[in-house]
Amino acid sequence: MTVGKGARAASVALVVVVLGAWEVVVRAGWISFETIPTPSATVRAWSHIAANGQLAGPVLHTLQFFMISFLLAAVAGIVLGMMIGLNKRCYSYLHASLEFLRFVPPPAIIPLVLLVSGFTDRSEILIAAFASLWPVLLNTAKGVSVIDPQLRDAGHALCLSRTQLLVKLVMPAALPLIVVGLRLALSLCLIIVITTEIVAIRQGIGFALVSASSALQPATVYAYLVTVGVLGTVVNVAFRLLERRVLLRGWSTS
């Protein structure tokens, strides 16, 4: 979907107006700035934490743990998903159980993992990787198990070997679904990493948010919050580029 120039300008104008109104409302004292900072105070707080290193440290921690967890989940999800999806019998037995596990709220496993491996870095990775494993696994399993019968017939009729069938037809045909799983896992992973930091692990941007909040520094809280939003947006945009340029490059556009 292409957004027209006009819409983009309106979008910017809208943001400016909302921020301006916010500034006025808080300055006028209609809302206490103990609870909500003005946009300008947020900007000042942001440049402050950016200058004294309170921003880079937590951001790097979060990004690092996010990437490790996501890679783990992606690799494990694709491998397990293929093993399960390609084995019809196995898939038919596991399907119901996997669907059940999908609806277990991911944060529920936070205390479980904490119980087993404590408030450690390993816990953070385990929790995020485990939570984001499911979308990849389920989509991969589904993708490789439901190849179009006519395409499979075509492959058989061309006398493709089992390996050729898998590499040339089944896997490419499943790719869009696998990519959907990866995209879901990506957002989920970042969410869970930050959630874990907020709930339990005393590190990263999630913890920075909590500690600024308990120190009653609203401007700093909002500065971190904006950073979280930028982080999420950047990660999503980067993945979408990767998706179009690399992962689904062979797939027709338009």
Partner 1 sequence: MAAVLAGVRAVAHRLVVPALAVLAWYVIAKRELVSPVFLPTPGGVLAAARDMWRADTLGEATRYTLGSALSGWIIACVLGVVVAIVITRNRFLVDALAPPLDFVRSLPAAALIPPATLLFGFGRAMEIPVVVLGAIWPVLLNATQGLLETEPQLHDVARSIRLSRLRRVYSIELPAALPAILLGVRTALSVAVIVAVVAEMVGSSGGLGYELILASQRFQSGEVYALVFLLGAIGVAANALVHALERRIVSRPGSLSTTTDSDN
Partner 2 sequence: MAGASLSVDSMSLTYQGRAGGRQVIEDVTLDVDQGEFVCIVGPSGCGKTTLLRILAGLMPPTAGSVSLDGTPVTSPNREVAVVFQDYGRALCPWRTAVRNVELTLEATGVPRRERRDRSLDALGQVDLRDRAHDHPRMLSGGMQQRIQIARAIVGRPSVLLMDEPFASLDALTKFRLEDMFLDTWSRFGQTVVLVTHDLDEAVYLADRIIVLSGGPARVIDNIRVGIPRPRDQVTTRARDDFVALRTKLLQLIDGGGDR
Q: Which is nearer to partner 2, 161 or 233 (CB)?
A: 161
Residues 43-102 interacting with partner 2 (rule: CB under 8 A)? none
Residue 43 is given by DSSP the state H
What CA–CA distance (Å, rounded) separates 170 from 8?
A: 41
**244 binds partner 2 per the rule CB under 8 A:** no
Considering CB distances under 5 to 8 angstroms, the limit depending on partner class, which of partner 1, partner 2, none binds residue 250? partner 2
Residue 217 is given by DSSP the state -
Considering CB distances under 5 to 8 angstroms, the limit depending on partner class, which of partner 1, partner 2, none binds residue 53? none
Q: Which of 63, 67, 199, 242 binds partner 1 (CB under 8 A)?
A: 199
Give, in order, the Cα–Cα distances in Å from 230 to each of 48, 235, 236, 253: 17, 8, 10, 28
Considering CB distances under 5 to 8 angstroms, the limit depending on partner class, which of partner 2, partner 1, none binds residue 203? none
Give, in order, the Cα–Cα distances in Å from 22 to each of 29, 35, 79: 11, 13, 49
Residues 229-248 interacting with partner 1 (rule: CB under 8 A)? 229, 232-233, 236
What CA–CA distance (Å, rounded) separates 173 from 181?
A: 14
Contact 25, 40 (CB under 8 A): no
The residue type of 7 is A
Q: Which is nearer to partner 1, 83 or 175 (CB)?
A: 83
Considering CB distances under 5 to 8 angstroms, the limit depending on partner class, which of partner 1, partner 2, none binds residue 191? partner 1
**213 binds partner 1 per the rule CB under 8 A:** yes
95-98-104-107 Cα dihedral, nearest 10 degrees: -160
Q: Which residues bind partner 2 (CB under 8 A)?
A: 148, 150-151, 153-154, 156-161, 164, 168-169, 172-173, 175, 248, 250-254
